Amino acid sequence: MKIIAPGRDCIGWSREFDCTGKGNEGIGCNARLLVEEADIWFYVVNNSWGRETFYSFICPLCGCMTDISHSLISGETMDHIRKRCEETAKVSYVRAQADKVKTLRLANRKKQQE
């Protein structure tokens, strides 16, 4: 993932997003990011009302995970992302890492406020 600045051309799907933390406690840093297909992770949550699927990216500046609306990603791109995530089995690992980063960030904020 790249912070928006002059650089190389992207290969394949890419789109600009803000780090908002949407769907993940909403604690983003508001950095403007160029998110490419390889930066997006697919994961599934089974909860009391059924199974939900999410497409998310992790901000390289603050480590916050932001969910992306399914409507902003083409069907072909979603298929590529799902296949890559299922093959690498990083989905649960990425989620755990993002949760660790959030926990550390919140702890650091509390320390700074004291």
pLDDT in tens, the chain (114 residues): 667 676 666 567 889 999 998 988 778 899 999 999 889 988 887 778 788 888 999 999 888 899 999 899 888 888 888 888 777 665 566 666 677 777 777 777 777 776
| Rounded-to-integer distance, Cα 3 and Cα 59, Å | 9
- Global confidence as pTM: 0.65
Give the tens place of pLDDT for each residue, 8-30.
665 678 899 999 989 887 788 99
| Rounded-to-integer distance, Cα 67 and Cα 18, Å | 11
Quickly list DSSP for 74-114.
Answer: -HHHHHHHHHHHHHHT-HHHHHHHHHHHHHHHHHHHHHHH-
